[in-house]
């Protein structure tokens, strides 16, 4: 798993050497903490190397090269937790970080569940560092980015790119703990993002954005083309927007909107900490139907096509597929080490976050299973008449599930056909109630911005307010 | 106030000596943050974090190159300058239109420090932790309906040194404390939340100048309980009175983003409208690096990240669009002076055009007069998130709504999102209150990078679309 860069401005990327260096740093941090009096210590490190080409106003703006390492240390002393982080990795800085974490632990509050987990065997990493991708140079990245922009602008003269970027990321992350956890992995990926709108004379359409990433360079060209097509269809369709109609009834959600309004609050409520602290609508609902029978949701960090694919979590525990909802029934909550100690069960490997904060709790790579109601066009036909929302710009209260916001890149459907773009259209409802009213799911579950998979969905009972 | 001797600008200036051709900008940034988060009696976060480095921008072959280093030393900074230059040269063949020569401007030189920096640095974190623990417990004890509460306190200590090859040499230190309290109430299967937050640039006393932490806690708990009984507003186009925090969101989302010059150049709805009537004559709107009316606005900034001193920019004057927000490059393209709006979140981020403290200038009306003038509408309060669109369509969330009928204020209703088209809504403003308040200091603006901003104004009456529940 190593590669050398070509004529780029960054030094070459030798994944194995980076992994050894980072593991040595986090091990040193742990040792410092133990020597200074920590009962237990856990250090997490992340090294990031990035080559990026940024575009603005339809032209190249900036070439960027970056590299940096951050480490975070969590300590427990007499049941009290302390944390400190730094991006300065010399010996004195690491000693200072250990002192800071222990100082914080000194005045914190004891908690019997403040203990580290015992390590568990890890599976092989789900992702492979591709040498060609890891070795991409600045000129090569400029060439890919330039071609990306050229093709997007060539798609239609009305397209205006406010911002775009093409970037290559070479990342390494490592965990080491005094209980014996030692985990390290590297990743290399290329990402592309488009943000802009279509302008036709006086008509300025609403903006939209799309982005994706790949780890396999053989997929790069197709990913760029798909991103352009998705973006272009959306922003061109936003021209000529008019008002919708006010009604309460079925609405067709494109995958990004379905994720924002329904999937994200459900995952948030499935956090064991939210349940333990009485702020989850899913408390007491394990084994019960919480959604329509068509809905199945898992977290799958083994899905190498998703950005969050990983072999281990923020605490060094194995990251494995977990079924959260199966045919509408709530199967599992998500646990990190602390939540698992509170409930006296095993962690599900969902400690989340980076080096700058105490491990949190969250999913890696959410996958909503496809349904069986055909493709997007079939769902437009099934909707017959009403609102088709592609992006949601609003607020969802993760505790109550109440949502309210603007339907963006929205379309009006009449006689099973998209007939016009919409503006000033708001939707509202309650996500947890309306999950029972999912009446159709597409037979495909495409990737959304490279990070989750979700289908198109028709949900009944939505309040639609037209301006 | 006395500034300690670790000013890095001499070293940066030395690193610039013999830097080679073209414009070079060096920006040292140290961010030290101390954070506490307590939920339901458990200390989730008590942490100290320090991240330091130097961001380098070089203009070579008419193209920007950017690199950064996490080490403040002559050799590493000089190496970063070379890497940024290489990146610019590698990128230059892909650029159609060269960056114009940056306009001459009086660049900042000297040292600047916000009130409260030394005081908060000396304040033991343990003291803040005890306060947060007590307030979280107080929220949970406020009512038997409260099932959970969370309280957080965060201090961000910023040190920045900007040195440019055309003369900027400025060092500034700012501290931005923030406080949040969140309460969850439940009854008969209903869950509702209440939240209060404050953020300033300044001291602990400045943070709690408008309301004590105890009163904020009680207000959040009461809001959660009251919302359990509250209904939903009706949707539709309505006349509303916006609180100062929501006026802040309106200025930020509806107008502020559309007048950022980078967005204007990409074709935002503000393009080509300078000198035209875009709002009611009652509206005068500004963006400022200073904290007008009173100290402590959360987006206060003495020098921007290109070394330009920050002042007050009048964006709309009596309804006429007067200016956009600029960095040095966009100012060159528009042939105007830069407005000091270039900001980068961390040392490894490039400066972008961002707002600072954005506000509407107070008018003459009282809140009572404004309510009395509305036959059928809402009074809205409590900011949630917001977003602006290129076509001027904006949305933002509110946490509380009160029906107004026949000039009388009705009972509390649940918050909703509101929307409209920026300049259309600003033209419907028919009353501007006389009391001014900064009320968005705990907020962050997202534009690829976060930025600490503030916004505010007086109570204001206008017409928007309310996203309530339809029949």
The DSSP element (H or E) to which A28 belongs, if any, is: helix A15-35
C-alpha A181/C-alpha B85 separation (Å) is 42
Q: Is residue A1 part of a domain?
A: no
Report chain A residues whose CB lies below 8 A from the CB of B235.
246, 426, 428, 463, 465
Q: Which of A100-109, A158-167, A194-203, B380-389 has the lowest mean pLDDT?
A: B380-389
Strands A417-421 and A322-326: unpaired
Residues B225 and B240 in one domain: no
Q: Is residue A10 part of a domain?
A: no
Q: Is residue B1 part of a domain?
A: no
Least Cα distance to B146 among A91, A227, A351, A399 occurs for A399
Residues A183 and A210 in one domain: yes
Tens of pLDDT along A148-175?
999 999 999 999 998 999 999 999 999 9
For A34-77, list the strands marked E by DSSP: 40-56, 59-77
pLDDT of residue B22: 86
Residues A190 and A322 in one domain: no
Q: Is residue B3 part of a domain?
A: no
Residues A150 and A224 in one domain: yes
Q: Is residue A2 over pLDDT 70?
A: no
Q: Which residue has 């307030």 as its token pair?
A: B135
Residue B117 near residue B174, CB atoms below 8 Å: yes
Domain span holding position A115:
15-235
User: What share of chain A in percent tops pLDDT 70?
Assistant: 97
Q: Once rounded to an integer, what is the mean pLDDT over residues B85-91?
A: 92
The DSSP element (H or E) to which B163 belongs, if any, is: strand B146-164
pLDDT of residue A23: 96
pLDDT of residue A9: 43
Residues B313 and B436 in one domain: yes
- Which one of B67, B389, B397 has the shortest CB-CB distance to A404? B397
Residues A225 and A312 in one domain: no
pLDDT of residue A11: 56
| Banded model confidence at residue B470, pLDDT cuts 50, 70, 90 | low
Alpha helices, H only, B395-450: 422-427
Residue B269 distance to chain A (closest CA, Å): 7
Residue B313 near residue B286, CB atoms below 8 Å: yes
Residues B187 and B245 in one domain: no
The dihedral region occupied by B440, where left means phi > 0, alpha psi between -120 and 50, and beta the remainder, is alpha
Q: Is residue B4 over pLDDT 60?
A: no
Tens of pLDDT along B415-444?
888 999 889 999 999 999 999 999 999 989
The DSSP element (H or E) to which A192 belongs, if any, is: strand A182-200
Q: Is residue A8 part of a domain?
A: no
Which residue of B lies nearest to A148 if distances are taken between CA atoms? B94
Q: Which of A361-365, A450-454, B98-102, B466-470 has the lowest mean pLDDT?
A: B466-470
Residues A255 and A156 in one domain: no
Residues B182 and B220 in one domain: yes
Residues A370 and A254 in one domain: yes
Residue B380, phi then psi, degrees to nearest 5: -120, 145
Residues B59 and B134 in one domain: yes
Which residue of B lies nearest to A422 if distances are taken between CA atoms? B393
pLDDT of residue A138: 85
Report chain A residues whose CB lies below 8 A from the CB of B97.
59
Token pair listed for B430:
């028919």
Residue A430 distance to chain B (closest CA, Å): 10
Residues facing residue B400 across a β-bridge = B381, B414
Other CB atoms within a 10 A radius of the CB of residue A123 amount to 12
C-alpha B186/C-alpha B189 separation (Å) is 7
pLDDT of residue A7: 38
Q: Is the CB of A65 less than 8 angstroms away from the CB of B49?
A: no
Q: Is residue B471 part of a domain?
A: no
Residues B16 and B52 in one domain: yes
Report chain A residues whose CB lies below 8 A from the CB of B327.
none
C-alpha B88/C-alpha A154 separation (Å) is 25
Q: Is residue A176 part of a domain?
A: yes
Residues facing residue B469 across a β-bridge = B234
Q: Once rounded to an integer, what is the mean pLDDT over residues A425-429?
A: 93
Q: Is the CB of A107 less than 8 angstroms away from the CB of B126?
A: yes
Residues B324 and B242 in one domain: yes
Least Cα distance to A191 among A163, A210, A172 occurs for A210
What's chain B's length in residues?
471
Tens of pLDDT along A190-227?
999 999 999 999 888 888 999 999 999 999 999 999 99
Residue B1 near residue B118, CB atoms below 8 Å: yes
Q: Is the CB of B393 less than 8 angstroms away from the CB of A54?
A: no
- Which one of A145, A402, A405 has the shortest CB-CB distance to B414? A402
C-alpha B441/C-alpha B420 separation (Å) is 24
Q: Once rounded to an integer, what is the mean pLDDT over residues B301-330?
A: 97
| Structural domain ending residue among the three candidates A235, A258, A273 | A235
Q: Is residue B321 part of a domain?
A: yes
Report chain B residues whose CB lies below 8 A from the CB of A205.
390-391
Tens of pLDDT along A361-393?
999 999 999 999 999 999 999 999 999 999 999
- Terminal CA-CA length for chain A: 56
- Which one of A53, A66, A406 has the shortest CB-CB distance to B348? A66
| Structural domain ending residue among the three candidates B199, B229, B259 | B229
Report chain A residues whose CB lies below 8 A from the CB of B306.
none
Tens of pLDDT along A328-342?
999 999 999 999 999
Report chain A residues whose CB lies below 8 A from the CB of B414.
402
Residues A287 and A260 in one domain: yes
Tens of pLDDT along B238-251?
999 999 999 999 99
pLDDT of residue B467: 86
- Which one of A56, A86, A199 has the shortest CB-CB distance to B50? A86
Tens of pLDDT along A45-89?
999 999 999 998 889 999 999 889 999 999 999 999 999 999 998
Which residue of B lies nearest to A355 if distances are taken between CA atoms? B49
Residues B62 and B96 in one domain: yes
Q: Is the CB of A56 less than 8 angstroms away from the CB of B397?
A: no
Q: What is the CATH number of the domain that holds B59?
A: 3.30.2290.10
Q: Is residue B417 part of a domain?
A: yes
C-alpha B94/C-alpha A141 separation (Å) is 11
Mean pLDDT of chain B: 93
Q: Is residue B3 over pLDDT 80?
A: no
Report chain A residues whose CB lies below 8 A from the CB of B40.
277-278
Q: Is the CB of A463 less than 8 angstroms away from the CB of B262?
A: no
C-alpha B386/C-alpha B92 separation (Å) is 36
Q: Is residue A2 part of a domain?
A: no
User: What share of chain A in percent tops pLDDT 90?
Assistant: 89
The number of folded domains in chain A is 2
Residues A158 and A213 in one domain: yes
Q: Is the CB of B51 less than 8 angstroms away from the CB of A357?
A: no
Q: Which residue has 């990743």 as its token pair?
A: A187
Question: Does this complex have an ipTM over 0.95?
Answer: no
Residue B293 distance to chain A (closest CA, Å): 31
Q: Is residue B102 part of a domain?
A: yes
| Banded model confidence at residue A12, pLDDT cuts 50, 70, 90 | low
pLDDT of residue B191: 92
Residues A91 and A201 in one domain: yes
| Structural domain ending residue among the three candidates B190, B213, B229 | B229
Q: Once rounded to an integer, what is the mean pLDDT over residues A16-38?
A: 95
Report chain A residues whose CB lies below 8 A from the CB of B348.
66, 68
Give the relative orientation of helices A138-155 and B74-91 as an angle to the nearest 10 degrees: 40
Whole-Å CA distances, B131 to A98, A185, B49, B138: 25, 40, 20, 10
Residues A325 and A268 in one domain: yes
| Vertex B115 angle, CA B112 and B119, to 5° | 120
Residue B249 distance to chain A (closest CA, Å): 14
C-alpha A190/C-alpha A133 separation (Å) is 7
Q: Is residue A116 part of a domain?
A: yes
Residues B186 and B251 in one domain: no
Residues A35 and A21 in one domain: yes
| Structural domain ending residue among the three candidates A190, A220, A235 | A235
| Structural domain ending residue among the three candidates B229, B260, B292 | B229
| Vertex B212 angle, CA B210 and B213, to 5° | 125
The number of folded domains in chain B is 2
Chain-centre distance of CA B217, in angstroms?
Answer: 23
Residues B200 and B266 in one domain: no
Q: Is A140 helix (H, G, I), strand (E, B) or coil?
A: helix
Q: Is the CB of A83 less than 8 angstroms away from the CB of B184?
A: no
Rg (CA), chain A: 24
Q: Is residue B134 part of a domain?
A: yes
Residues B209 and B312 in one domain: no
What's chain A's length in residues?
467
| Banded model confidence at residue B391, pLDDT cuts 50, 70, 90 | confident
Q: Is residue A456 part of a domain?
A: yes
Q: Is residue B140 over pLDDT 70?
A: yes
Alpha helices, H only, A404-450: 431-434
Q: Is residue B471 over pLDDT 80?
A: no
Residues A266 and A194 in one domain: no
pLDDT of residue B164: 97
Residues B173 and B301 in one domain: no
The DSSP element (H or E) to which A142 belongs, if any, is: helix A138-155
Q: Is residue B4 part of a domain?
A: no
pLDDT of residue B122: 95
C-alpha B308/C-alpha B289 separation (Å) is 11
Whole-Å CA distances, A386 to A245, A442, B260: 8, 17, 35
Q: Is residue B87 over pLDDT 50?
A: yes
Domain span holding position B16:
9-229
| Banded model confidence at residue A6, pLDDT cuts 50, 70, 90 | very low
| Structural domain ending residue among the three candidates A190, A208, A235 | A235
Other CB atoms within a 10 A radius of the CB of residue B421 amount to 20
pLDDT of residue B21: 80
Q: Is residue A42 part of a domain?
A: yes
C-alpha B346/C-alpha B348 separation (Å) is 5
Residues facing residue A405 across a β-bridge = A394, A427
Mutation target to probe the B interface, by most B beta carbons within 10 A, among A67, A399, A404 is A404
């Amino acid at each position: 798993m190593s590669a050398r860069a070509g004529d780029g401005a960054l030094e070459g990327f030798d994944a194995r050497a980076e992994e050894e260096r980072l593991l040595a740093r986090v091990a040193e941090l742990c040792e410092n903490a133990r020597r200074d009096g920590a009962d237990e210590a856990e250090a997490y490190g992340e090294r990031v190397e990035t080559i990026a080409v940024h575009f603005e106003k339809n032209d190249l703006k900036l070439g960027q090269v970056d590299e940096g390492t951050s480490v975070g240390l969590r300590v427990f002393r007499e049941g009290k937790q302390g944390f400190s982080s730094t991006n300065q990795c010399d010996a004195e800085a690491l000693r200072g970080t250990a002192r800071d974490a222990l100082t914080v632990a000194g005045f914190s509050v004891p908690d019997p569940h403040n203990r580290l987990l015992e390590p568990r065997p890890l599976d092989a990493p789900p992702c492979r560092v591709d040498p060609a991708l890891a070795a991409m140079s600045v000129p090569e990245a400029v060439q890919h980015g330039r071609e990306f922009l050229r093709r997007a602008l060539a798609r239609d003269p009305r397209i205006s790119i406010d911002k775009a970027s093409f970037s290559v990321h070479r990342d390494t992350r490592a965990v080491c703990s005094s209980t014996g956890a030692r985990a390290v992995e590297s990743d290399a990926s290329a990402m592309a993002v488009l943000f802009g709108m279509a302008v036709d004379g006086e008509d300025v359409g609403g903006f939209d954005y799309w982005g994706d990433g790949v780890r396999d360079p053989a997929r790069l060209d197709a990913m760029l083309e798909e991103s352009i097509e998705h973006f272009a269809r959306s922003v061109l369709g936003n021209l000529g927007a008019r008002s919708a109609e006010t009604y309460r009834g079925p609405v067709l959600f494109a995958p990004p909107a379905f994720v924002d309004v329904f999937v994200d609050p459900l995952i948030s409520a499935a956090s064991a900490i939210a349940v333990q602290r009485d702020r989850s609508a899913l408390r007491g609902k394990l084994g019960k139907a919480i959604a329509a029978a068509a809905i199945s949701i898992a977290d799958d960090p083994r899905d190498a096509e998703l950005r969050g694919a990983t072999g281990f979590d923020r605490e060094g525990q194995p990251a494995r597929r977990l079924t959260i909802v199966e045919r509408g029934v709530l199967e599992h909550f998500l646990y990190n080490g602390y939540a698992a100690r509170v409930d006296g069960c095993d962690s599900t490997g969902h400690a989340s976050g980076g080096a700058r904060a105490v491990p949190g709790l969250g999913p890696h790579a959410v996958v909503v299973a496809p349904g069986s109601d055909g493709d997007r066009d079939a769902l437009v036909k099934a909707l017959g008449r009403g609102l088709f929302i592609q992006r949601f710009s609003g607020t969802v209260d993760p505790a109550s599930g109440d949502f309210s916001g603007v339907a963006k890149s929205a379309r009006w459907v009449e006689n099973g056909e998209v007939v016009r773009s919409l503006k000033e259209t708001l939707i509202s409802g309650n996500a947890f109630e309306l999950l029972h009213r999912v009446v159709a799911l597409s037979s495909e579950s495409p990737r959304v911005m490279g990070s989750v998979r979700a289908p198109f969905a028709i949900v009944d009972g939505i309040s639609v307010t037209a301006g | 106030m006395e500034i300690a001797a670790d000013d890095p600008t001499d070293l940066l200036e030395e690193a610039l000596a013999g830097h080679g051709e073209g414009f070079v900008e060096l920006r040292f940034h140290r961010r030290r943050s101390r954070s506490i988060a307590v939920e339901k009696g458990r200390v989730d976060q008590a942490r100290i974090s320090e991240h330091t480095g130097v961001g380098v921008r070089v203009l070579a072959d008419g193209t920007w190159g950017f690199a950064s280093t996490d080490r403040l030393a002559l050799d590493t900074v000089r190496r970063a300058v070379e890497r940024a230059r290489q990146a610019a040269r590698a990128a230059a063949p892909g650029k159609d239109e060269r960056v114009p020569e940056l306009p001459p401007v009086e660049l900042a030189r000297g040292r600047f420090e916000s009130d409260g920096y030394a005081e908060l640095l000396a304040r033991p974190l343990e003291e803040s932790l005890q306060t947060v623990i007590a307030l979280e417990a107080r929220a949970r004890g406020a009512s038997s309906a409260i099932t959970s509460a969370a309280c957080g306190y965060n201090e961000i200590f910023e040190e920045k040194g900007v040195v440019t090859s055309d003369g900027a040499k400025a060092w500034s230190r700012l501290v931005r404390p923030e406080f949040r309290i969140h309460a969850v109430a439940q009854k008969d299967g209903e869950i509702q939340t209440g939240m209060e937050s404050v953020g300033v640039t300044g001291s602990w006393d400045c943070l709690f100048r408008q309301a004590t932490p105890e009163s904020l806690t009680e207000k959040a708990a009461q809001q959660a309980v009251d919302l359990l009984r509250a209904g939903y507003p009706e949707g539709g186009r309505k006349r509303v009175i916006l609180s100062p925090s929501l006026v802040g969101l309106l200025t930020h989302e509806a107008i502020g983003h559309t007048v950022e010059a980078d967005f204007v150049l990409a074709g935002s709805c503000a393009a080509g409208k300078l000198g035209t009537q875009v709002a009611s004559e009652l509206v005068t709107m500004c963006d400022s690096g200073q904290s007008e009316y009173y100290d402590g606005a959360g987006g206060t900034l003495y020098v921007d990240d290109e070394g330009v001193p920050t002042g007050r920019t009048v964006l709309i004057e009596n309804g006429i669009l007067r200016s956009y927000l600029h960095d040095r490059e966009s100012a060159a393209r528009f042939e105007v002076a830069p407005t000091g709006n270039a900001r980068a979140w961390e040392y490894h981020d490039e400066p972008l055009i961002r707002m600072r403290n954005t506000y509407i200038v107070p008018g003459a009306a009282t809140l009572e007069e404004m309510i009395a003038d509305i036959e059928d509408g809402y009074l809205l309060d409590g900011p949630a998130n917001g977003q602006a669109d290129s076509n001027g369509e904006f949305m933002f969330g509110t946490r509380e709504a009160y029906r107004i009928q026949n000039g009388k204020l009705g009972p509390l209703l649940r918050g909703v999102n509101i929307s409209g088209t920026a300049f259309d809504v600003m033209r419907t403003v028919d009353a501007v209150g006389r009391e001014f308040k900064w009320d968005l200091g705990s907020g962050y603006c997202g534009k690829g990078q976060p930025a600490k901003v503030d916004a505010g104004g007086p109570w204001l009456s206008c017409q928007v679309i309310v996203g309530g529940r339809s029949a």
